[in-house]
Amino acid sequence: MPGEASRFSHGALRVAVLAGGPSAEHDVSLASAASIREGLLAAGHEVLAVTITRDGAWMHENELIALVPGAGLLGADVAFPALHGPFGEDGAVQGVLEALGVPFVGAGVAASALCMDKVLFKDLMRAAGCPQVDYRGVWSDRFAEAPADVLAELAGLGLPVFVKPARMGSSLGIVKVQVASAMTAALEEAFSLDELVIVEAMALGMEIECALLGSREQPLVSTPGQIVLDGDWYDFAAKYTPGGMRLVIPAPISSTAAERVRSLAREVFARVRCDGLARVDFFVDGEEVLVNELNTMPGFTPTSVYAKLIEESGVGYSALVDRLCRLALTRRRGAHLRER
């Protein structure tokens, strides 16, 4: 209806902000969601706080929500899943929202699942010819059956390497292995969080991040920023401890390398069929640019890297969360028109 389209394009929206979840990033999600709610309120929207407990229950105002396929979510116009890690970014919640019939911010089911799985993502990037660090994926059952074979394969990466749970965010469970004798313990620690582990070769150069906002056909691509660390590498403490890292915008790299970062960010965003937003991480050494990973729902406080990069491009925090909600509605209306 014309009136409805006008309201969605310009008027106040009823937005359900999802927070928490059963993953190890529950508390990080709560912080992101609190900032998003404040930003949406400042933009003039009505906000519905939905907390997903560590047990997976959906709550609103301390009441359990009954989820009925096709019945929406608390009458919301759009949902903003401010969720990180498994269940939040892996397509599971996105599938629930699809079943409920609620437009939602961010990547869809397939793109979310693909980008959450670091091995699958890197396999796709390799098939597409995107430059990236060397890596190996290791399943827990194969390591249990043939540990010597696995360790021999991993030796080909050299040292040091980083051992990570393949489907976890916020640098949780990552171990830097500098001597071969420490590899087994590092793998077992990562297996405690995920049955699939990725082992990556050490990358030289700067850690560079680039933010995208918009449709995959024509996203806004930010100026690249550099992550400067006080510690040895970008672990959980560096990400979430005040003073653990600082962001330098623009990154002190050549104009050629900066344009290569932006071009690759745009290419990767489109190739995995993301939508709405993403942060793409790189390693840059001189003119060499390597893709590291794509995060479909990065940390979302006003001081998070994603928000800072987008703000540098001229979009403040309230305008950012407002635009993301309207992008979700535009995408849903476009899908409905294609189905007719």
Per the residue annotation, which of 89, 216, 299, 326 is the catalytic one?
Answer: 299
Q: d(Cα 85, Cα 171) in Å, to the nearest integer?
A: 10
Per the residue annotation, which of 200, 207, 235, 293 is the catalytic one?
Answer: 293
DSSP secondary structure, 155-170, as one string: HTT-SSEEEEETT--T
Known active-site residue 55? no
Per the residue annotation, which of 32, 35, 170, 304 is the catalytic one?
Answer: 170
Terminal Cα distance for the chain, rounded: 15
Helix H segments across 118-254? Answer: 118-128, 140-145, 147-155, 183-191, 236-240
Within 10 A of 187 (CB to CB), how many other CB atoms are there? Answer: 22
Known active-site residue 27? no
Q: d(Cα 45, Cα 322) in Å, to the nearest integer?
A: 8
Can you name the residues that pair with 79 across neighbouring β-strands? 16, 104
Known active-site residue 281? yes
Sheet holding 161-165, edge to edge: 135-139, 196-201, 161-165, 175-177
Known active-site residue 240? yes
Per the residue annotation, which of 98, 215, 240, 333 is the catalytic one?
Answer: 240
Known active-site residue 299? yes
Per the residue annotation, which of 135, 281, 304, 322 is the catalytic one?
Answer: 281
Known active-site residue 46? no
Known active-site residue 153? no
Per the residue annotation, which of 32, 35, 295, 304 is the catalytic one?
Answer: 295
Q: d(Cα 154, Cα 182) in Å, to the nearest integer?
A: 12
Please state the separation of Cα 204 from the chain's center in Å. 23
Per the residue annotation, which of 20, 21, 23, 25 is the catalytic one?
Answer: 25
Per the residue annotation, which of 167, 216, 260, 279 is the catalytic one?
Answer: 279
Known active-site residue 77? no
Active site residue ranges:
25, 170, 240, 279, 281, 293, 295, 299
